[in-house]
Structure 1
């Protein structure tokens, strides 16, 4: 009896020494590692294992597996834990799990009588002798108290670690407004606490600049538990027997909405403690508030930038720019703000036909590009306010190069004057915010564009002859004066319709006017990109070719003399006089006109339907 009491006193003193030495015990396993050799020495026990009872399961303490995989967990209902049950019946599940050596056990309970742990042993003579004494109950009480203290310490250590992680990540979240830094911070802090688990973020909005992989939340295809967490804003759990996985879903929740779901994949037999669940919930909530603040910060900056963009555009467009300058400026603004791959400016003429501006990107001058123009034009002409399509191939039922489209009409006095079209190959490339900003830009730009178009139309009435659409003589005079001042050479050609009076007398003045239009159309087609054609007066037409040589002017004139008889009905011919100036042989505008006029007079006098070159001695060709 004295020996058993001494054994108990020695165990109690060693446990007391354990506490007074201030050994830091962070895991249950560490405590068992300290207790096990004492059992071996005092009772001669060679085999023993300790189990923690949690969530109706006995979980073996081996290494540090308690916080990860628990394949050896042995289910046991607390209602079945009866002290009167035979050792063999109680230990049978343990024998089946590989603990065949066990022939005795001790159950440890807390002050409320709840089971907190279990010790199974391979009995020895000393152990059996001690078990038959009254000291066994005291040993159970001592060890139970130790277990409860250990549980408190382990809980506090885990809580401290969790709160340190939470404090660190909160400090990070409060020091940044970068969404990607916040998202990376969530992943890193959760991985630190659950290093062996797979972690995913299911986000309601896509992120750029990403270090980790995130998934867009797909409401139609996500697991029911993830959808429930996203909708309800509460933490949910789900077991996936097919993958031996247990999911915990924590909504990333701010004050104004839910921005995604933090999803952790654990082994199916893993049991989350209450503190672990709270830690996951707090991380997700802290991240949700941080993401919300970052989003509001980004939105405020974006609103300011958008207002600055609209203001800058409006101010610039209202500074009396030329129409082409306006389009060029708008193109730069749209490319900077929306980063499209293609952009088109399309305007309607008086007949309602669309004309694509040369400032549009090259694709719209091809057959494939015309498909998008036609689709947008038809859509807008049907009375739609705007076109915003993120999956163009679905609308066309085919494979399209460009999936994302935005088309905004240019309106003036409730009439559509044209539209601007943006394209990008990626689906869902343009955000709805981009669409609304583009609408605002076009709305503020429409009046300036319409006014510029009107100014150009008025200027065209001043600068061009109404009948022939050729420039007026005054406009040509200004262009020639400018050319003489800034260029090295130029060719002036003066044309006259042969026997034009006979056309008027024989067919009437309306036919004569039509002949002039036919001649002008032929000249405009030939002179485009090379020079300027103007109605000089009556049936006389002047053409000026800047930076051209005399030989080039002669070839140009000869083409006109050959083409005009074939382009007119009734058929007419022309006579032409030509003069040339160079920097080596400068001439005034008056000299250029007079010499070309003399050459034309000579052409008329010497047989018509021919070109005469003015030189000091007039040459006939």
Structure 2
């Protein structure tokens, strides 16, 4: 019998060695255990062999492997307490039936398996014949020792294989992170890795950034007002936190998604039917969480760098364009288009102040809204704020004052003053219907655009004022005769026709003699203002000389010109103080008449002479 027992032990050790010396890297710990108990069943001629393990996490006995398929379905031996385990673990012997512990009452033999000096596992055997009773305590104790050694080696081997697999998975995830800036792809890879390693766990990513594009992933918005203080503590401290619910028999692990510059969210890992996360699991989850945090940070820095480059390109292109001697209206139109396109604005207004800021007007190039009555409410509101605070305004949920008696249809607004040499010349106002439509980065870009553009605006205004001074009569603010002559000659080259009106203030010498030359100048100014109020922007009103004025109407037929002249005669008679009248000589030219610049003036002068000669305060026409 002694020889048989030695053969059993030698056979057992030999089979154990064959099992763990395999080069199969797909070998799993569960498979090793299955082979182990099947081998023990054969050597011991047993009906059933079941390996139980005391799980410290749940403080209960669980089935690790069994030759009985029915036993494998019942994973927890509920009648085995922690006290039972402590009592059995302190004894250094093999137990034969009957057992005092009900958990093993159906078995004939119980062999505690020592691992690293302590007992954590138990081999429970059912006898098929009378083989157990023939074995001595010595061989059963040897079986306990060898089984413990085998389990120890098998666990180390399985751990090495698991670690190798984890390192490969970490390498795969890291490779993915460094090969793409697609956050959805990276986070998806991390979740897939976790589910592959720990399929019984559930996962949620709480992200502190926008996650609308991550559909299909277990992602939620990080709520800074969350009642879950454990999540908040993990986010704020940047450390692993564990939350245990004994009543639900589950544990939550919260791993911060850390980068070098901050924390970008929290990974929640939920383990059901367990109250403890092993150290190696915590380490692996922590590494993956850090990879996720680094990936989020890198993606944000990448997007930020792209945005900054695009912003710099926009500012550079805009500055270059604005310094290319555009007209003011062209400058404003270009800026309006750039702001609408780059900032996703709905309305853009350029508000210019008069020299004393008491009056303001909307520059051409502003969107159509700013030329409506509704826009005045917004312009007045922001003008008052800017004059008072002398600073830029960034409003995400605009509410107009109650005394305006208007509801704010625009909720988002940005206003930036235009100042040059500490002189406030106006402001630019941007509006959007949706609240919080503009980000702070958008506001900073808007500030840069306006600050870089203000000098160009100012230079364009000064240049056009200077140009106007050169071609403008200083008294009447009408164009000079020189400018009128140039425009008529240019028009006769390119247009198909036009009307010319020559105007003279009747009895002007009498006005000077009666009221003085200063009143005479005021009368000329009054007549000039009537002219400016009754012609279009494309028409040219000019001072011909002395008390004589002129109007050139490009592409206007003579009958329309006569109507305009008659209206001027009436308006001057009704609105001047002291009251004066005017006489008008009207003529025209057409391309087919092959007319000349000198003849046009001569006919208008003749018509004016006839008006003066035949009673004044009238319009006389002379055709070519």
TM-score with structure 2 setting the length: 0.82
**Deviations 1:203-248 (Å, cap 9, x if unpaired)?**
4443686566655543333632222222222222224689986432
Q: Which runs of 5+ in 2 are unaligned?
A: 67-72
CA distance in 1, matches of 2:547, 2:189: 82
Match of 1:158 in 2: 162
CA distance in 2, matches of 1:71, 1:198: 20
Kept in 1: contact 2:333–2:364 (CA 8 A): no
Choose 106-115 or 499-508, whichever is displaced more: 499-508
Match of 2:258 in 1: 253
Aligned 1:492-531 pairs, distance under 5 A: 492-504=500-512, 512-531=520-539
3-state secondary structure, aligned to 1:81: helix
The change in CA–CA distance for 1:418 and 1:195 in structure 2 (over 3 A counts) is farther
Aligned 1:584-599 pairs, distance under 5 A: 584-599=592-607
3-state secondary structure, aligned to 2:450: helix
CA distance in 1, matches of 2:75, 2:407: 51
2:394 pairs with 1:388: yes
Choose 510-519 or 133-142, whichever is displaced more: 510-519
Aligned 1:284-303 pairs, distance under 5 A: 284-300=289-305, 302-303=307-308
Kept in 1: contact 2:499–2:556 (CA 8 A): yes
Q: Which runs of 5+ in 1 are unaligned?
A: 64-68, 617-621
CA distance in 1, matches of 2:98, 2:577: 121
Following superposition, the deviation at residue 566 of structure 1 comes to 4.0
2:58 pairs with 1:58: no
Aligned counterpart in structure 1 of residue 117 of structure 2, from 112, 116, 123: 112
2:437 pairs with 1:436: no
Kept in 2: contact 1:494–1:576 (CA 8 A): yes
3-state secondary structure, aligned to 1:256: coil
Choose 329-338 or 342-351, whichever is displaced more: 329-338
Following superposition, the deviation at residue 110 of structure 1 comes to 0.8
Aligned 1:176-575 pairs, distance under 5 A: 176-177=180-181, 182-194=186-198, 197-206=201-210, 210=214, 214-221=219-226, 223-239=228-244, 246-267=251-272, 269=274, 271-300=276-305, 302-335=307-340, 337-352=342-357, 353-392=359-398, 400-504=408-512, 512-575=520-583
CA distance in 1, matches of 2:212, 2:130: 69
CA distance in 1, matches of 2:523, 2:151: 113
The change in CA–CA distance for 1:393 and 1:73 in structure 2 (over 3 A counts) is farther
CA distance in 2, matches of 1:349, 1:392: 27
3-state secondary structure, aligned to 2:149: helix
Kept in 2: contact 1:346–1:355 (CA 8 A): yes
3-state secondary structure, aligned to 2:47: coil
Kept in 2: contact 1:226–1:249 (CA 8 A): yes
CA distance in 2, matches of 1:177, 1:396: 49
CA distance in 1, matches of 2:170, 2:482: 80
Aligned counterpart in structure 2 of residue 135 of structure 1, from 139, 145, 152: 139
CA distance in 2, matches of 1:153, 1:418: 77
Aligned 1:65-144 pairs, distance under 5 A: 72=76, 77=82, 80-83=85-88, 105-115=110-120, 117-120=121-124, 126=130, 129=133, 133-144=137-148
Following superposition, the deviation at residue 417 of structure 1 comes to 0.9
3-state secondary structure, aligned to 1:495: strand
The change in CA–CA distance for 1:288 and 1:309 in structure 2 (over 3 A counts) is same
Following superposition, the deviation at residue 61 of structure 1 comes to 4.1
Kept in 2: contact 1:404–1:424 (CA 8 A): yes
CA distance in 1, matches of 2:489, 2:508: 30
CA distance in 1, matches of 2:493, 2:21: 104
Kept in 2: contact 1:57–1:76 (CA 8 A): yes
The change in CA–CA distance for 1:118 and 1:545 in structure 2 (over 3 A counts) is farther
Match of 1:33 in 2: 34
Match of 2:616 in 1: 608
CA distance in 2, matches of 1:574, 1:243: 101
Following superposition, the deviation at residue 112 of structure 1 comes to 2.4
3-state secondary structure, aligned to 1:382: helix
**Deviations 1:289-342 (Å, cap 9, x if unpaired)?**
444445445555555554444444444444444333333343344445434333
The change in CA–CA distance for 1:192 and 1:457 in structure 2 (over 3 A counts) is farther
The change in CA–CA distance for 1:110 and 1:39 in structure 2 (over 3 A counts) is closer
3-state secondary structure, aligned to 1:355: strand
Following superposition, the deviation at residue 414 of structure 1 comes to 1.0
Kept in 2: contact 1:71–1:269 (CA 8 A): no
Following superposition, the deviation at residue 491 of structure 1 comes to 1.6
CA distance in 2, matches of 1:131, 1:384: 99
Kept in 2: contact 1:240–1:268 (CA 8 A): no
The change in CA–CA distance for 1:241 and 1:272 in structure 2 (over 3 A counts) is closer
Following superposition, the deviation at residue 348 of structure 1 comes to 0.7
The change in CA–CA distance for 1:111 and 1:280 in structure 2 (over 3 A counts) is closer
Query: How many pairs align?
Result: 605
CA distance in 2, matches of 1:331, 1:614: 47
Following superposition, the deviation at residue 349 of structure 1 comes to 1.0
Following superposition, the deviation at residue 121 of structure 1 comes to 5.8
CA distance in 2, matches of 1:540, 1:127: 139
Kept in 2: contact 1:32–1:50 (CA 8 A): no
**Deviations 1:109-156 (Å, cap 9, x if unpaired)?**
3122142x3445666665863787443322222332232223222222
Kept in 1: contact 2:50–2:63 (CA 8 A): no
3-state secondary structure, aligned to 2:366: coil
Kept in 1: contact 2:63–2:75 (CA 8 A): no
The change in CA–CA distance for 1:146 and 1:89 in structure 2 (over 3 A counts) is same
Following superposition, the deviation at residue 347 of structure 1 comes to 1.4
2:47 pairs with 1:45: yes
Following superposition, the deviation at residue 514 of structure 1 comes to 4.6
The change in CA–CA distance for 1:147 and 1:564 in structure 2 (over 3 A counts) is farther
Choose 35-44 or 138-147, whichever is displaced more: 35-44
CA distance in 2, matches of 1:351, 1:562: 35
CA distance in 2, matches of 1:48, 1:430: 66
TM-score with structure 1 setting the length: 0.82
